[in-house]
Amino acid sequence: MDRLAADIDDPAVAYAQSFRMTGRLHRRHPELSRVLLHHGLELAHSDRGLAPRALQDIRAAVDAGRFEVEDPDLALAVTAGATLALGALLHAQPERDDAKSADVVVRGLLRQFGIPADEAGRICSLDLPDLDLVDTIVG
């Protein structure tokens, strides 16, 4: 995620992009998703993996005035909970559209963190990096 978000100037966009790609990876890499779901609460406090990246984006968005977040650690906990709940739902409902679902969830998180609805919608409609490239990094 670090490499894929390196050229993004807006930390709110970087946060959303990472969440949107992670949501899509639940379907593209179900084995990895199951590991994430099984160890998710431990990983949410890890100094490696997705959690530090998300916390970095949250703090950067607060510092840039993009997020109105009192406690970045709580915002990370909410993000981790949303990621895990989304993954569990996608496994339980294989017919559910993973991309649309991930975008709906992160749009709500952006709103919760102070981004106006129209801006959150715009952010969630931005193109993502080629997920086949992501697969080579993950795989």
Phi, psi of 16 (to 5 degrees): -65, -40
In the chain the domains, ranked by start, together with CATH numbers, are 8-138 (1.10.357.10)
How far is Cα 67 from Cα 86, in angstroms, rounded to an integer?
A: 22
pTM, two decimal places: 0.84
The predicted-structure confidence for 2-55, as pLDDT tens digits, reads as follows 555 557 789 999 999 999 998 998 888 777 777 777 766 665 665 666 688 889
The predicted-structure confidence for 84-105, as pLDDT tens digits, reads as follows 999 999 999 999 999 999 999 9
Which residue from 54, 66, 73 is spatially nearest to 10, judged by alpha carbons?
Answer: 66
